[in-house]
Amino acid sequence: MRRFVPYLWPSDAPGLRARIVAAFGFVILSKLVQVYGAPFALQGAIDRMAEGSRDLAWLVIALAVGYAAARFGTVLFDNLRNTVFEKVGQEAARRLTSNVFRHLHNLSLRFHLERRTGAVTKVVERGTKSIDTMLYFLLFNIAPTILELTLVLIIFGLHFGAWLVIATVIMVAVYITFTRIITDWRAALRAQMNDADTGAVAHAVDSLLNFETVKYFTAEERESARYDAAVRAYANAATKSENSLAWLNVGQSVITNVMLAFGMGLVVWGWASGRFTPGDVVLVSTLLTQLFRPLDMLGMVYRTIRQGLIDMAAMFDLIDTPAEITDAPDAPGLIVTTGHVRFENVRFGYEPTREILHGIDIDAPAGTTVAVVGPSGAGKSTLSRLLFRFYDPTGGRITIDGQDIAKVTQQSLRRAIGIVPQDSVLFNDTVGYNIAYGRDGASQEEVEAAARGAAIHDFIASMPDGYATRVGERGLKLSGGEKQRVAIARTLLKDPPILILDEATSALDSRTEAAIQDTIRTIERGRTSIVIAHRLSTIVDADQIVVLDAGRVAERGTHAQLMRKNGLYAEMWTRQQSEQEEETQAAE
């Protein structure tokens, strides 16, 4: 709560602070009218009627009208309070959730690979919802109830003596203790239910995102059974949680009604001895009944606040998760003059006990194309992640034009690098939006020029909605070649001096690959390009080919030089050519 107060009472928004003050003003007015207006008006009316004099009927009528007006005033002030405060709650939720979302994007790739996206979004969703409800109950139920209890005790002490005050205090203490014990028990059940709910949602999202894989392996029944088990666990936990609510409601009702019987009995006893009037019985009954109304909600309020704190704590845990990759203090921006990239004795491992790269040295002079090849698991794609600073090397350094990328800002580094990955994941939006994502603020003319450069403009123009055509989730409405061309257009629009092609055509058929390669050769001109390739036929024209094996540089040179060495590269080339000939013969 201490961490949340700055969002609720922002120093840079005096208007919101004024709204909070006004809202509490309406809270006080509401309680004063509720405690001193309605009950005393009703008491006066009953006492005048009990006197038996019908000459004062106009006064009784006025008191009855006053009673109704006081009840309306309570509702009016409560709603004015809600209207004034609503913007404060929404603004606090907006600021907090925006900070969480921004922080999630600042976290390392390792965090997002280790956490399920569905589970993370559920944590943020629950935390956001808890803010509004928790604020409402905390500020407009707990605080007003304390104020009302104080006013009621003052009235009881002045009009009915210490016994009624003591009994009321004991009742409230017993009520709060009982509510807390039962609610704590229910909170444990609620936590189990939330865990089961998070697991069910995370599994559902994961399964639906992998819809095609499920179909490939005819695993629909398997996925349904797993999801049913997750939902069953949630249903069992929810049943226990809801059943425990009955014990809470019954116990609270026993405590409040015992107090009501005692209070009214005490006043009736005083009436019998001539100390109190019939209106006093009504006054005590009305005051206690009004006090019981927020107390009856105390279990739900306490549970909501407690659960809200749990949900907010989970969201603050996300904020507290440290970013693995951070900018150095006062880090300058990267200044790219020529685009000369060097990997100098780079060592790296995703886990401390398992090193992937063992002292890699690669020199990519400005404007040249350097291809990195090797068997699966050799560490090829890891190089691109290191160059983008998704991870930092555990040894050595990477430089661009002599500047250590670990000492410049991440934004300036990533602005200078473009990438066309093997699997280009697109946003579930329009083709135009996905291309324009390459550079914020790009005009439609620039987007179309980039599409022409990627040889996809004619295809887009042929569709009924043109650049407004939606591509579906992850771009599934487009073919593999079309997705790659969109990715190339996006990179062309970014216009980076350094380009990474991470097996950009390995998932495509030969004909599509050849067409994409022609486009790639065009965008490589004038840029420093690092090509991570599986098919060696796509990189024979590279200025330099680096062959990795088990995280080490095994060979380097041009295609012709490596073939003459008759080493690992020549072996891979021979094997791939043989496989290609076999595929051609099989097709014939």
Strand pairing category for 341-348 and 357-364: antiparallel
Residues 6+ positions from 101 with CB-CB distance below 8 Å: 124
Helices 162-209 and 220-272, interaxial angle, to 10°? Answer: 170
**Rounded to an integer, what distance in angstroms lies between the CA atom of residue 361 and that of residue 363?**
7
Domain with CATH 1.20.1560.10 in the chain: 5-320
Give CA–CA dist 326/411, Å, rounded: 11
The residues near 3 (Cβ < 8 Å, ≥ 6 apart) are 316
CATH superfamily, with its number, for domain 329-416+496-588 = P-loop containing nucleotide triphosphate hydrolases (3.40.50.300)
- Rounded Cα distance, 500 and 481, in Å: 18
Question: Torsion angle of alpha carbons 522, 524, 530, 536, nearest 10°?
Answer: 30
**Distance separating alpha carbons of residues 17 and 23, to the nearest angstrom:** 10
Closest C-alpha among 467, 476, 465, 455 to residue 431: 467
CA distance 406 to 422: 26
- For residue 404, the cross-strand partners are 399
Where helices occur in 471-528 by DSSP H, the ranges are: 480-494, 510-524
H or E element in which residue 316 lies: helix 298-320
Distance from C-alpha of 346 to C-alpha of 383, rounded to nearest angstrom:
9
Topology adopted by domain 5-320: ABC transporter transmembrane region fold (1.20.1560)
The angle formed by the CA atoms of residues 449, 492 and 450, to the nearest 5 degrees, is 15
The single residue listed with the structure tokens 């209106």 is: 279
In terms of C-beta density within 10 A (0-12 exposed, 13-18 middle, 19 or more buried), how is residue 162 classed? exposed
Locate CATH 3.40.50.300 in the chain: 329-416+496-588, 426-494
pLDDT at residue 53 in the model = 66
Instruction: Report angle CA 507, 214, 204 to the nearest 5 degrees.
Output: 115
Whole-number Å distance between alpha carbons of 455 and 227? 43
- Output the pLDDT for position 72: 92
Distance CA 217, CA 221 (A): 11
Identify the CATH assignment for 426-494 out of 3.40.605.10, 3.40.50.150, 1.10.240.10, 3.40.50.300.
3.40.50.300
Q: Supply the pTM of this predicted model.
A: 0.65
User: Which pLDDT belongs to residue 586?
Assistant: 62
What are the pLDDT tens digits along the chain (588 aa)?
677 777 777 778 888 888 888 988 998 898 888 888 888 888 888 878 887 666 678 888 888 898 899 889 888 988 998 888 888 878 888 888 888 888 887 777 777 766 666 677 778 877 777 777 777 777 777 888 888 888 989 988 888 888 889 999 999 899 888 888 887 787 777 777 888 888 888 888 888 888 888 887 788 888 888 888 888 888 888 888 777 778 878 888 888 888 888 888 888 888 888 888 888 888 888 888 888 888 877 767 777 777 778 888 888 888 888 887 888 888 999 999 999 999 999 999 888 888 889 999 999 999 899 999 988 778 888 898 899 898 899 999 999 999 999 999 999 998 999 888 877 778 888 999 999 988 888 899 999 988 888 888 888 999 888 999 988 876 778 887 788 888 888 888 888 999 998 877 665 566 666 667 777 777 777 889 999 888 888 888 889 999 998 889 999 999 999 999 999 999 988 988 887 777 666 655
Sheet of 498-502, strand order: 417-420, 498-502, 528-532, 369-373, 544-549, 552-557
In the sheet with 403-404, reading across from the earlier edge strand, the strands are 357-364, 341-348, 395-400, 403-404
